[in-house]
Amino acid sequence: MAKKKKKISKRMQNEILALLKRTPGVPVNRKEISRQLNIHKSDFYIFMDSLIDLVKAGKIVHARKQHYAFAPKQQTMIGELRTTRAGYGFVLVEGQEMDVFVAQPNLNTAFDRDIVEIQLYANSRGKRLEGFVRKVVKRFREQIVGTLHVTPYYNFVVPDDPKVYRDILIRPDESIKAEDGQKVVVRFEKWEKNQHNPEGTLTEILGRPGDPGVDIISVAYSFNLPVHFSEKIEQEAARVRGGITEKDLAGREDLRALTCFTIDPIDAKDFDDAISMERKDNGNWELGVHIADVSHYVAKDTVLDKEALRRGTSVYLVDRVIPMLPERLSNELCSLKPHVDRLAFSCIMEVNEQAEVMDYRIFPSIINSKRRFNYEEVQQIIDGQIQDTLAPVLRDMDTMRERLSRKRFQNGGIDFETPEVRFVLDEKGNPVEIIPKQRLNSHRLVEEFMLLANQTVARHIRRISPHKNRPLPFLYRVHEKPNEEKMNRFFGFLAALQIPYKPVKKVTSKYFQNLLRSIKGTKEEIVIEEVALRSMMKAVYSEKNIGHFGLGFRDYTHFTSPIRRYPDLTVHRLLKQYADDPNRSVQGEIKKLKAIADQSNKMERLAVEAERESVKLKQVEYISKYIGESYKGLVSGVMSFGIFVELEKIFVEGIIPLTEMKDDFYIYDEKTYSMIGRDTDQTIRLGDEVVVRVEGVDAEKKRVEFSLIENLSDEPGRSQIRIEQYDNGNKKPRKRRKR
């Protein structure tokens, strides 16, 4: 019997190794391994022993909970280093899901986001991969922002970003006279030995820490965002010819008589999309989306083009925009200003009463916008609060918006309404008010028209491709299906909140949409939508068309914002190229598109993080004036070390540290996202409405501390059901016998 068991185990180990070798370094769920190998229930214990034996032998690694991977053979790897506030880091290697742990002493001379070469430890057998930084391949930061300290012997800068964990020694330079305590920008020059400090040269004085705008510009520099355009770029932009000649009109359709207009935020400076809608003789609608033709002004591989690719996207911080293109292009030549002739790229779609696209045309055009609307104004016109000559067409557009939305949701599109805020700043840049952004039907109107145009353009590429099974090279906006592990966590979260849902084996976007619709109007709606959003994969740019899960679209791209997104500019160029000659050689095009997608994804992630950081900074600054005040909020996170609460309306998030919850001994229940009071039976769980008091603010760490005053959601008897899971005085749940 023992021999038979040993034989089965040996065979099973070989099968496990063969399976994991197909994707070295990629963690695979234990259930998935079992399913692919058709492990019978009676052999499951042998299967588990086989996994354990392989880990002990160092042939595979236990990457994370219930996940195993075949360790790569190479002992050195190159990847991006991401560090934590605690000091240690992880290296993300392209093509591998499993990252490599790097302890703080092993960072060598690397900072967060540097591309590094790491040496794997030989003694990582049976553990997660661990290594040390051999060298920095490429620095992420060219500049560092911090506070200058002047001493009689040397000067140094203390970086604002805690992830830049070493002070920067400043080389003597008489050209910039900075004073002690000022915020400065340092050009990072060298750091050769870990035993020494990095060195740099002062390049700019930002001002005193409290000066207007200094805090936000510091955020931009800390993310290595290109705050200014170089003189060379500005000169290149100045040389771009304005005005429209007969030559410019060649091959363009003249739409200047068409009634089209822009709808944008009230403070918008650039307008890259205009819309139009007219009734056709056959009863259908001719819906037009007209986009600024940036590709006419920014030629491929020019200095301007290379700079736009480097930036990838415009970045919208609290008090400023860091544009992708210089102002002469973004706010002048390419901006669809009212009553001015502008070169455009139009997508005109014939749409029937069922919101189906019956036909379409995509072509270069010249337009003249008849009006510059803002969202609030359009909403008032639709609601009949303002009289306007364009009211009839706006109301027809709103009806079309409703039909398009309904059709999209019926097909499985998911509608996330994540809360956003805007700030009212005083003359010194201090936040005096936080105002939640209201999502109006006028916003949805523009969104639906842009979605339809983007979808139509992506479908167009499939239609014009000479080989239907091999579409022409193109750049898509894609969104993968959520993975099983994230979905299981999300369903566990719903169960913890006692939200009814129907378990399914295959999660579709339609299922997701119906689930989110079922919680609309509940007090947990915001928290559930935030967790659902985190459970999803991130939408990215790709040369491979794998569809868009969140929108429920098979084909989707970004065509509508070339002033502020480089992929849209690329899409315009490809449309022109294929219109001229669809059979033109496209050899090497896929490789170029992949490089553009990778750069655009990288810069988009960076922009999102910087935008969030600037919002967080102003939220913390705002709430610091209200220490001692009480607010209603929602429990947005429950961790072993404390409870996170997001305040109502202003969405400031802070923590109630577990160490400060002294009214009871609280037990953290990971499965139910709850804190349970051992003696009082008080339960605090995710989604609860609470009243908290602001106790303090750490501006440097952007951390707000609350104390709990009252749990408005605590119901008598709710916690008793769960408290029975615990032995009195024990932190660990009592194991229940399976029935």
> pLDDT, tens digit, for every residue of 416-437?
777 789 999 998 899 999 999 8
Edge-first strand listing for the sheet containing 28-29? 28-29, 67-70, 60-64
Q: What is the pLDDT of residue 4?
A: 62
- What pLDDT score was predicted for residue 3? 63
Tally of domains within the chain: 5
Quick: pLDDT tens for 224-257: 999 999 999 999 999 999 889 999 999 999 999 9
Confidence at residue 325, expressed as pLDDT on a 0 to 100 scale: 97
DSSP-based three-state secondary structure for 595: helix
Q: 163 and 131 in one domain?
A: no
37 and 169 in a single domain? The answer is: no
For residues 269 and 353, membership in a common domain is answered with yes
Q: What is the pLDDT of residues 498-540, one digit of tens each?
A: 788 887 778 888 888 888 888 887 777 777 877 787 788 889 9
| Same domain membership, residue 252 and residue 323 | yes
Residue bearing tokens 């901006």: 335
Res 594 pLDDT > 90: yes
Whether residue 512 lies inside any domain: the answer is: no
Q: How confident is the model at residue 130 (pLDDT cuts 50, 70, 90)?
A: confident
Co-location of 278 and 204 in the same domain: no
Domain boundary among 25, 43, 70: 70
Structural domain contains residue 272? yes
For residues 53 and 108, membership in a common domain is answered with no
Give yes or no for residue 271 having a pLDDT over 70. yes
Do 290 and 204 lie in a common domain? no
Is there a domain that residue 110 lies in?
yes
Contact 647, 635 (CB under 8 A): no
Q: What is the mean pLDDT of residues 82-106?
A: 84
| Domain residue limits at 678 | 627-723
Please give the Cα distance from 254 to 258 (Å, whole number): 9
Asked whether residue 173 is assigned to any structural domain, the reply reads yes
Residues 133 and 162 in one domain: no
The CATH number of residue 11's host domain is 1.10.10.10
- Contacts (Cβ under 8 Å, ≥6 apart) of 21: 70
Name the percent of the chain lying above pLDDT 90.
Answer: 55
Within a domain: 659: yes
* pTM of this structure: 0.84
pLDDT value at residue 595? 95
Q: Report how far residue 80's alpha carbon sits from residue 90's, in angstroms, rounded to the nearest whole number.
A: 8
**pLDDT tens track for 545-578:** 999 999 999 999 999 999 999 999 999 999 999 9
Highest mean pLDDT among 191-205, 303-317, 467-481: 303-317
Residue 95 lies in a domain: yes
> Is 411 strand, coil or helix?
coil
Are 203 and 57 members of one domain? no
Asked if 321 and 467 sit in the same domain, the reply is: yes
pLDDT given for residue 389 in this prediction? 96
Is residue 414 included in any domain, yes or no? no
Dist CA 711 CA 691 (whole Å):
6
Burial of 319 (0-12, 13-18, 19+ CB in 10 A): middle
Answer yes or no: are the C-beta atoms of 291 and 273 closer than 8 Å: yes
User: What is the CB-side half-sphere exposure of residue 529 using CA atoms within 13 A?
Assistant: 20
Is 127's pLDDT higher than 70? Answer: no
Q: What is the pLDDT of residue 256?
A: 97
Residue 641 lies in a domain: yes
DSSP one-letter code for 242: -
Q: What number is the average pLDDT over the span 261-267?
A: 94
Q: What is the mean pLDDT of residues 625-644?
A: 93
Asked if residue 717 and residue 654 are part of one domain, the reply reads yes
CATH number at residue 171: 2.40.50.700
pLDDT tens column, 384-414 = 999 999 999 999 999 999 999 999 988 888 8
The one-letter amino acid at 452: L
Query: What is the band of 2 on the pLDDT scale with cuts at 50, 70, 90?
Result: low
Domain termination site, one of 19, 40, 70 = 70
Alpha helices in 538-588 (DSSP H): 566-580
For residues 198 and 302, state if they share a domain: no
Query: Residues 472, 582: contact at Cβ < 8 Å?
Result: yes
> pLDDT class for 583, splitting at 50, 70, 90?
low
